[in-house]
Amino acid sequence: GLYSYDGYRLREFRQQEGHPRTLGDNYVRALLARADGSLWVATQAAGISIYRPESDDFEALRHDPGNPDAPSSNGSIALAQQADGVVWIGYGGTGLDRYDPASKRFEHFRKPQLAHDTVRALLVDRRGDLWLGGGDGLQRRRAGSAAFERIASEAGVADGLAGQYVYALFEAGDGRIWIGTQA
């Protein structure tokens, strides 16, 4: 589930069957705090649950096979936000989504645009570049570009990231990108 801590006690948020304004799934994969005070919760099987503090409940963003403006999947794994409020959502087998909260529209990315349809880690760096780690190494989409480029992840390159699962990304204070892999 999901817990908040106010310095004195824990408050639990859990899925409640029959109550659509609760947490969608108790298996939480990633969190994203937004400037508007909302908390985006990526869940294993129920899409994105968005906590709204003013109403103390959740709104759901869920996959709808007939709607191209819906998330690609209900199994979200990673979240990142650009400075302009655009949210990136990584999935365990259906690629990557770009969600624009202003238009409430999704843009979907898959192979061959991506090296792999599993996206495990996302990072928007201080320059606004999007980094994504997945089932076949590391990619970057520079701010203002539409292309995803492989970073140290070309097949056959010794000591590269090709074929490795990237699970964690972090930008240090000096701008260096740290990459955590499965192996």
Alpha-carbon dihedral 36, 42, 48, 51, rounded to 10 degrees: -40
pLDDT, one tens digit per residue, over 62-119 is 999 999 889 999 999 999 999 999 999 999 999 999 999 999 999 999 999 999 999 9
What's the rounded Cα separation, in Å, for the pair 153 and 129? 17
pLDDT digits (tens, 9 = 90+) for 18-72: 898 999 999 999 999 999 999 999 999 999 999 999 999 999 999 999 998 899 9
| Strand arrangement, sheet containing 130-134 | 119-124, 130-134, 137-141, 149-151
